[in-house]
Structure 1
Amino acid sequence: MTRLPQLRDQKEGHKTLIAFMYALLADCLGILWMIHPSSGIVHGLVATVLAIHGRIIAAYLVHEAAHDSVFVESWANRYMGIASIWLAGCPYCNFDHIRKMHIAHHRDRTDLVEFDYRSFVQSSPGIVKTLCCVGEYCFIPIVETFMHLRQALGPLFIGILLPQYNQYFDPERIKSAGIGTTFQLAFYLFMWHHNALFWQLVCGAMMLHILAFGDAFHHTYDAVFPQYYTPGPGNRTAQYEEENTYSNLISISFPQLNLLNLNFGYHNAHHKRPMVPWYRLPSYHDKLYPTSNVIRSKVEGSAESEITLAEYACPQILSLKDIFASWHRHRLRRVLEEDYGEVHPLGAIDRARDFVGTLGASFLTV
């Protein structure tokens, strides 16, 4: 008889299971409303928003499972990670590969990325480069679409048809891509048959944007590609990690809003102790940066701005307003340039104005 898995956090671990059930319910309800015969524009929009949020939560649950922070047993975390990948709408991704790459990101304090999308765009025929740049300029997530297409089709076309050029796609990744891509194509046909493919495509595009934005401004690490990769942090110290990691909170004044992405914005706290589950990150953040509570009480009812509060609470916090501006300002530089840019010192106006950020760094597709 198989023993049931044990929650790592016996006291509050059920919160992760509740989040998983919410993701399942939101995604399923969203799809049902999309395909309902009487669905109009309003119903379609509501259904799409619900499905997007369910898939976003599922994606961040993949991240939790990759850190083995949900269950004591590694196999149980793996199964939850696989289920969450499917809920997130990326059934072609391989959980074991995601976990390996993401743990290397923490262990080696670098952005280990398998596919150099910048070189791909730069070396592509002019029409491809132009379409990519025009699409990104118009906020169409071309680069992230490339990354997902590579995960879905790369193992099949390269891993099977051109094995002499295959460096990365092992049999398990080929299997995941074969099963997941077949399912995804069948699902698109199903949505097209029910006149809901448009909403599904909007849902997918918005999810790619949100996940890309969530990962774009967390680090000013150097991107390292497998052919140049030497395992180990080298001279990248814990201080380097702290100084090159940034927390992009949805809100400091209203921390409950950070639950919208399972507290993923508390990134410095997460990198300090990756095993801390999502629901404990706010309290751990306040423990690391104890002035946050003091400043929060001082500015209550005052006219001080949230960015001032953020800067005093934790020097590594960047305001959502600033990174939104940088997301817009550097949308072409982010496609073509390798430099992540820089964050200006504490006290500077618009600290993130030269923070270019990156694309293609999602833990789902690296």
Structure 2
Amino acid sequence: MPSSAKTFRHDDALLPTLLASSYVLAGYLLGGLSMLTDVWYLNLFGVLWFAHSMVIGAYLIHEAAHLSIFRERKHNRWFSELMLWITGCSYSNFDDISHKHARHHSDRADIVSFDFRPILQRHPVALKTLQILEWAYIPALEILMHALVIILPFIKPNRHKRRARVLSVLVIRLALFSYLASISLDFLWLYAIAYLLFLTFMRFMDVHQHTYEVFETLDQKRGPEAKLRDKHFEEHNTYSNLFSVKHPWLNLIALNFSYHNVHHRQQLQPWYRLPKIHKELYGADQTQVLTFRHLMKSFHKYRVPRILNGDPINLPVKHDEGESFIGVDGVSFLTAH
């Protein structure tokens, strides 16, 4: 058996993993260098590539969380930790992210340690501020969710052990940003734009993939109620939000994360096999498929009400191809809380 086959989960993984990882590293380095120049079109190029490299890096974290890249957990952890730094999400660790995401699959729900919706309803000033920012297409709620990864270890007793990591990452990142700002002060706002684009893209992919309930049970053992939600429930409350049905290669923009029903049915299948498996399993059946054109309308129309929304299960979103499907915010697999 070749050494690569012993290392990787799948014997055909070497080339796809190398290509995706190289794209991320190249975009991170060359995109970052482009943002350090004083040439506007290089800045624009750098921001877009840098943002997209973080997107692909994030979906490689998702692959690693399922242990679908390497055979051994430690190799998936090492790989994921690198991608966490690239995506600016290194305040979380691999084990927290994989645990939260595993609960999402096993409980067939969006599992969190707390639900921010009732909290926001009790604080109208904070809610109004978020609503104004979201109206202006600033992903303020997503920023808040990422900020909470930093804040919660200093508030919740069961997260105190994460303080050392958070403080270490903060010191290193602040030092790096200070150094890069000394080369070009413009880098700071260009990075901010790239990160906002990254968060917006990730949110767009998340909000319409499920009509799941939100449960505040992340810090608890899996409850008996989770067993009530079976595979039939999972299939009919999961949607594949494709960029294109006719041109499957366009879904590579999200590393095929959009083939979400297939992913939930066969979690160990790698990203590069999903379009073929989707075609084999579903053929021309688009019962659980929602497409980019319709979801963009919903994403725009409901960007403010989505802050407090929680979709009911078994919502008939296909009646208008998802255009009235509000979706749910704050459920990213990158924010392990």
Q: Normalization by structure 1: what TM-score?
A: 0.85
Aligned to 1:263: 256
Aligned to 2:247: 254
8 Å contact from structure 1 (residues 340, 357) kept in 2: no
1:48-73 CA deviation, whole Å, 9 max, x = no partner?
Answer: 00101111010000000000011111
Secondary structure of 1:241's partner? Answer: helix
Counting matched residue pairs gives: 329
Seq. identity, %:
34
Deviation at 1:115, TM superposition (A): 3.5
Q: Root-mean-square deviation (CA), in Å?
A: 2.0
Task: Tell me which moved more, 336-345 or 64-73.
Answer: 336-345
1:16-39 CA deviation, whole Å, 9 max, x = no partner?
Answer: 132112101111111111112xx2
Aligned to 2:200: 209
Aligned to 1:175: 164
Which blocks of at least 5 consecutive residues in structure 1 are unaligned? 159-164, 293-312
8 Å contact from structure 1 (residues 340, 356) kept in 2: no
Structure with the bigger RCO (C-alpha within 8 Å, sep 6+) is 2
**Structure 1 pair 345/249, CA: closer, same or farther in 2 (3 Å)?**
closer
CA distance in structure 2 between the aligned counterparts of 1:176 and 1:359, rounded to whole angstroms: 26
1:138-183 CA deviation, whole Å, 9 max, x = no partner?
Answer: 111110010111112322x32xxxxxx423x152x33332222222
**Structure 1 pair 138/287, CA: closer, same or farther in 2 (3 Å)?**
same
Residue number among 126, 129, 145 corresponding to 2:127 in the alignment:
129
Deviation at 1:255, TM superposition (A): 0.7
CA distance in structure 2 between the aligned counterparts of 1:228 and 1:200, rounded to whole angstroms: 33
Secondary structure of 1:353's partner? Answer: coil
**Structure 1 pair 345/207, CA: closer, same or farther in 2 (3 Å)?**
closer
8 Å contact from structure 1 (residues 117, 143) kept in 2: no
Secondary structure of 2:299's partner? Answer: helix
The residue type paired with residue 103 of structure 1 is A
**Structure 1 pair 198/19, CA: closer, same or farther in 2 (3 Å)?**
same
Aligned to 1:218: 209
**Structure 1 pair 202/77, CA: closer, same or farther in 2 (3 Å)?**
same
Deviation at 1:120, TM superposition (A): 3.1
CA distance in structure 1 between the aligned counterparts of 2:93 and 2:63, rounded to whole angstroms: 15
Larger radius of gyration: 1
Secondary structure of 1:192's partner? Answer: helix
Deviation at 1:97, TM superposition (A): 0.3
The residue type paired with residue 259 of structure 1 is L
Deviation at 1:90, TM superposition (A): 1.5
Secondary structure of 2:68's partner? Answer: coil
8 Å contact from structure 2 (residues 317, 325) kept in 1: no
The residue type paired with residue 331 of structure 1 is R
Aligned to 1:153: 151
CA distance in structure 1 between the aligned counterparts of 2:256 and 2:8, rounded to whole angstroms: 20
Q: Which has the higher helix share?
A: 2
1:263-294 CA deviation, whole Å, 9 max, x = no partner?
Answer: 000000000011000001111111211x33xx
Which blocks of at least 5 consecutive residues in structure 2 are unaligned? none
